[in-house]
Amino acid sequence: MQISNDIGKSLLEAQSYEEAGKLSSALRMYYRVLKLEKSSFGAHLGIGRCALLLGEAHKAYEHFSFVLIGQNQNAEAYWGRGSALIALGEEKRGLKDILKAVSLDYPASELRIDCAAQLNSLGRCGEALAALDEVPENEQSFDYILERSFAQLALGQSCDVDLESLYRSGEDDSLFLMVWAACKAQRENDFSLLFDAVRQVLQEEPDLESRAQTLLIRLGVQDSESGI
């Protein structure tokens, strides 16, 4: 009974550290749980999530795979392993896991949004939009709006949310800036603002190049300065 209580307490503490962005402390607590119970799926999932955020894709892959050996219907583990595979350059295998995650019964809305982000990054925007369609209205976060708007633009659709209000409120997320500028360009047929946004974003976050490329291709324009 005491060991069980220690495990529960350590998991809660680890999750609290993780939510606060204190990943080293979170990992220390998750590993403490594994010393008490090697097969703790909660600890393996936690280590996998932290490893992804720290750029340790191999470690993330190992821990999410461990969970899937014992829980082959765990949507979070499929998302995590798929994300790790994509980070390792194995996009085909990663995509299979991401699609498996969204196909399972009732994955959490936050997980659906995370899957949609991976699908959008791979150019699978129709499947991203389908995943987002299952998110209830009361759980449609900023990330939901961002990924939905990106998918709609990439599919040649008009954005159905008011990005202008979010922009005026001071939202400065890099991907949001690019999506907002693309919506404005689509509406006003003026691409100078979009080109400026793309250049600024790629200077700060070059890993968003494939996203920028998707938007510019769909809008039928090319920015000679950024080379996209």
Distances in whole angstroms, Cα of residue 199 to Cα of each of 16, 28, 120, 123, 208: 37, 39, 20, 20, 11
pTM attached to this predicted model: 0.86
Confidence category of residue 28, pLDDT binned at 50, 70, 90: very high
Q: Helices 91-103 and 125-132, interaxial angle, to 10°? A: 20
Average pLDDT over residues 181-195: 90
pLDDT over threshold 80, residue 3: no
In the chain, the domains with their CATH numbers are: 1-75 (1.25.40.10)
**Which pLDDT score, from 0 to 100, does residue 170 have?**
80
pLDDT over threshold 90, residue 85: yes
**Which pLDDT score, from 0 to 100, does residue 112 have?**
95
Query: 52 near 23, Cβ under 8 Å?
Result: no
Average pLDDT over residues 201-225: 87
